[in-house]
Structure 1
C-alpha cells in the first residue's frame, strides 16, 4: 500500500503538539538530571519520558518501521533499508536545563536512506518547522518558507560548536575569520532553524543522526547543502563532523579545507 505522506505528516504534527504540551507541563517540576559522557552531556527524565511517548506513538502510526532514538528506547538499527524514523526528544538539553529555552524536538523520516519528511519543533516559541520532498516544501506552522539567500561565506554569520573553534578542529578558526561572524545557539535544531530563516548561512558541529536527520530533510528541500566537513554524504547511522551551508558558503568552506588554511 502506498504511503499517504500528507496524512502521515498531519499525524506527526498532532503527535508533536501533544508532546510539547507534556514537556511544558513538566518544565516547572523538579528535573532529574544525569550525565551521559560528562558534565556537559546531560539527559533528564523529560528527555527519556518524551522519547518513550514519541516511540510508542510512532509504532502505532507505522508498525513496520524502524525507530532510532537518542536515549535508546528505539531499535538497534544497523541498516537504513525500509522506513526509518530518527527521533531526538529534547535537542539542546543543556539549554533546557539551564535556560528553559532554546531547545527543540526533532523527527526525521527516511525511506531506504532518503529523507522524506522532517520536523523541528521550536518548543518555547511554539513554531513547528515541517515538510520535505513528499510535501513539496517547508512550512513554519502554516506559513510556507522560501529558500534562504545563497550567500557566500563572507556575507553572513555562521553557527559553530564552540569546542571546535577553541581547538581549531578542521580549520574552524579560519572559517570563522572568513565569515561575517560566529554564533553559538547550543542546539542543532535551533541552529538549523536559523539557517532556514536566513539568519545564518551555515553550521558546523559534530552531530549524531538524531541531531541532523530532521534538519537535513528540511534544509535540502530548501536548497541548503548538508555534508561532512570535506563534502561527503552523511552516514545516517553514525557520528559525523557535519557541514550545513548555502551552496556558495559550502564551496568557500571546502576551499579552506582543501587549501589547509590556518590563521
Structure 2
C-alpha cells in the first residue's frame, strides 16, 4: 500500500460508500438474523456479506496487511505489529434489525499499534466521520471537526451501556448521577460520533477491538481520552470496560472509581 495517507483515506471512504449502497439495497430484501452469544447479541446475513466486501476491498488496497473483522472473515491476530485494519461491518446490529437506523460501519487503521486513520459511517444519515494523525484532522463528510469542549462530568451528558447502569457496574449510577444526564444510543459508533461532536462528553461500555478501534483514532486526535475504566491503556486485541471522556470528565470519573463511593 502507498504511504500516501490522503489517498488511503479517499480509497477507504469510497469503499465505505459503496458498502453503504449495498447495505441499503439489501435492507429491502430478506434478512437472516442469528444469535451469537444470546438473544441480544445478533448477527445478520448483511453483517457477514458486508464484512466480506470490506475485507476484499482492503486486501486489494493493502495485500500484506493484517485484518481483524468482527465476523471472523479476517486474520487471527496475536499482535498489532505492522499494519492492521480493524473492521466492524455493522455496529449496532440490534438497532439495524429492530429500527433500520442508528447503526454504523467502522474501520480503524493501525501501524505498529499506533492509530493512523479512523472511519465511522453513520449509514442512515449518510455522514462519514474520518481522519486521524495520518491526515492531520477529522472530518464529517467534507467539514472539518474541531476538538470538543473539555467539559467536567457535571457539565455534560454521558453515553452509557444500559446493563452497566442497571447493575451499577464500576459505580455507573454515581457517574450518571454526577453528570448532567445519561443518553443511550445502542451503538458504539453512534455514541462516539456524539462525543466527537461534543453532544456528549463521554461514553462507557464493554467494547471489543472492532467497537473502539476507529473511534479511538479520531477521539485521541481531538484530545478526548480513551482508556480502561481505571485509566489504563487499552489492550486492542481483547475486550475492555472502556472509558471515553474529555480530560476533565475522565479525571472526575477516575476519582469516583478511586473513592469507591456510592450515591
**Cα distance between partner residues in 1 of 2:214 and 2:261:** 32
Deviation at 1:208, TM superposition (A): 0.0
Structure 1: runs of 5+ lacking an equivalent: none
* 1:43-97 Cα distance to aligned partner (Å, 9 max, x none): 0000000000000110010011000000000000111000000000000000000
Matches for 1:41-190 after TM superposition, within 5 Å: 41-190=41-190
SS of the aligned residue for 1:94 comes to: helix
Q: Residue in 1 aligned with 2:240? A: 240
TM-score (normalised: structure 1): 0.99
Cα RMSD (Å) of the superposition?
0.7
For residue 216 of structure 2, give the secondary structure of its aligned residue in structure 1. helix
Q: Separation in 2 of the partners of 1:155 and 1:24?
A: 38
**Separation of aligned partners in 2, 1:194 and 1:29:** 30
Q: CA deviation at 1:159?
A: 0.2
Name structure 2 gaps, 5 residues minimum. Answer: none
- SS of structure 1 residue aligned to 2:244: strand
Residues in 2 aligned to 1:113 and 1:227: alpha-carbon distance in whole angstroms: 15
Structure 1's consecutive aligned runs of 4 or more residues displaced over 3 angstroms after TM superposition are none
Q: CA deviation at 1:2?
A: 6.2
Whole-Å separation in 2 of the counterparts to 1:120 and 1:45: 21
Following superposition, the deviation at residue 22 of structure 1 comes to: 0.1
Q: Residues of 2 paired with 1:156 and 1:29: CA distance?
A: 41
Give distance in 2, aligned partners of 1:103 and 1:109: 20
Q: Deviations over 1:86-134 (max 9, x none)?
A: 0000000000000000000000000000000000000000000000001
Matching residue of 1:35 = 35
How many residue pairs get aligned? The number is 263
TM-score (norm 2): 0.99
